[in-house]
Structure 1
């Protein structure tokens, strides 16, 4: 694991630490880009650097998947009763503590990958800002993603997050919803936030099948997750799971126990189904949920809106569909108030999903 050279005490605070109230006139930065707030100018060199050197020229690949995971695992570390700083970069500042949490298995890889960038820009932005900025930029590399809002001005973390605050795929839905309710997320917002799984893959849920994606199009931010999770799981369990994995209907695809349960639980099934054929709704609600998650534990009144620095994602590729070899009879209806949208299947033999290659 890389050694974090940045001190917990964050000095040399720059203009990026000023509040949005101090700025109202759009400016042209020294780099030539325009932004609504001068404080945001510091982000453009960072943007160019991580697109070229963290995200492999702006691809929607493994580093994007892992950076998106890191935004959540850092932010959810807050409880009104147990403490924690939320989206404050504590997973970087106190990496040896937090990467040892069971729910953070494998996350040290992306912490290590981001560490040189965080140290490089440590007099410009905090680790908490960098983690959320990288997540917003990275997901924007995926066709179909929303332009995720980004706010600047998180202070440096003062302490590690308490253990046990990160929901795990084998947790009950009641426990997951209660954990999110602690940080003011409704069940519908939980489902919206999990749209992130459409560009995700798992290495440590089942170590026998690393790089297994959660849907058949992990390079596209589309609604396939909400369709394929609703298929009856008959045929392709992993061989080394027992860590929150359940049977998947597609070869090469992994299905989290929590995703399967959320798609079928009466508290969340209709919200899950509502995204299945509605790309615009998924984009809108995921973007709002991400923006809310990214400021857990923070005072938004002291932050600068730098959303206009985030690149505009490309349009979605493809349309909602059933995987090849499936029919509407394979859909396991769970929402009791409306029918699942009628979809057609891709032509050809039964779908087999390739693993996401490592970076």
Structure 2
């Protein structure tokens, strides 16, 4: 009954983006997802608001995680809207993330990684043990917590400083800025989806628990178990790993800093999925060991290969997966506000 009620809401309830009504589009079919888990207050108290309903629908695969809502003009923003300031943030981020050739740059890549590293520090096991903190709480930006000095966050120091300055300039929450910058960076990349983006998270009051981020040298079984403990199943993980389409490494192979994980790191395309499993690897690329073992794990191999020729499929799956990631450790989902309309429009063709 719960699923049928949510499905009706997904089809008939309009969402409001900065004053613009948009009817969510249902995902046409389930392409292999396992039953999805809820998170935060949606799990403990249920849906209490329109935002809570929208996020729940996305988490359960009943509503799209990406948005085609027309980009609003800042001048039309209602005076009391919490989204208004994000137009200014978006303008600054576009300047920061967009390269002259129209691709996304190293700052965009770092912002995407930053979003993963902040949100990924939460687990069901810790919550069950009474340690329900970490996750998408902005702790990685709080200098006093010294997370920037952790080995797994090496290479993020420059983007951390830039985000700290931006948060001070616009007086926005750290937790929200990290996730907003990550989704902005993705849509700044040509072909990238416009992931639905929510603000209103509570900032961290303590450092994130250590040891919850993946190692590039881990076995596939260990990686899958690590993410399942974050409610991220293998199907969802396959989509998230694709963010390496726009990544470069600077610390794994210090002899070749800046080597990319696919041949078009400035474009959010599906080349990564094909090039990771190529029988004759491109010698200019640096393929992470973790990506290779995941690509050939039976729990992910079919979906991995499905993405190779289907950009739209990957974008849809990634968007839903990232909304889930961005809600890890967030216990006030019902209180959030959707500000997707402040993001740039997606560019579905390039060049």
TM-score range, shorter chain: 0.7 to 0.9
* Cα distance in structure 1, aligned partners of 2:251 and 2:199: 32
Name which of 214, 227, 232 aligns with 1:185: 232
8 Å CA contact 2:115, 2:179 repeated in 1: yes
Deviation >4 Å, runs of 4+: 19-22, 53-59
Q: Residues 148 and 291 of structure 1 are in contact (CA less than 8 Å); yes or no, is this contact kept in structure 2?
A: yes
2:97–2:104 contact (8 Å) kept in structure 1: no
Find out whether 1:112 has 2:161 as its counterpart: yes
For structure 2, the residue ranges without an aligned partner over 5 or more in a row are 1-47, 52-68
Partner of 1:10: none
Q: Displacement of 1:102 after TM fit? A: 2.0
SS in 2 for 1:39: coil
- CA distance in 1 between counterparts of 2:256 and 2:336 reads 41
Does the CA contact (< 8 Å) of 2:85 and 2:170 recur in 1?
A: no
RMSD between aligned residues: 2.6
Counterpart position of 1:304? 337
| Distance in 1 between residues matched to 2:320 and 2:299, nearest whole Å | 20
CA contact (8 A) 2:87 2:343 kept: no
Equivalent in the alignment of 1:272: 304
Preserved contact between residue 221 and residue 316 of structure 1 (Cα < 8 Å): no
Q: How big is each residue's C-alpha offset from its partner over 1:127-172, in whole Å with a ceiling of 9 and x where there is no partner?
A: 1101111111111111111111100101110111111000111111
Distance 1:251 1:206, change over 3 A: same
Aligned to 1:66: 110
Choose which of 137, 146, 152 in structure 2 pairs with 1:97: 146
Q: Where do 1:235-250 residues align within 5 Å?
A: 249-250=281-282
Partner of 1:326: none
In the aligned structure 2, how far is the partner of 1:59 from the partner of 1:117? 22
More helix by share: 2
Query: For the Cα contact (< 8 Å) 2:96–2:108, is it kept in 1?
Result: no
Larger RCO: Structure 1 or Structure 2 (Cα < 8 Å, ≥ 6 residues apart)? Answer: 2
Pick the structure with greater CA Rg. 1
Equivalent pairs, count: 279
Give the conservation status (yes or no) of the 8 Å contact 1:68–1:138. yes
The 2-side partners of 1:99 and 1:68 are apart by 16
User: Residues of 1 paired with 2:107 and 2:49: CA distance?
Assistant: 30
Distance 1:112 1:192 in 2: 29
- Alignment CA distance shift 1:56-1:250 (3 Å): closer
1:229 aligns with 2:268: no
Q: Distance in 1 between matches of 2:49 and 2:95?
A: 29
Find the counterpart in structure 2 of residue 315 from structure 1. Answer: 348
Q: CA deviation at 1:30?
A: 8.9
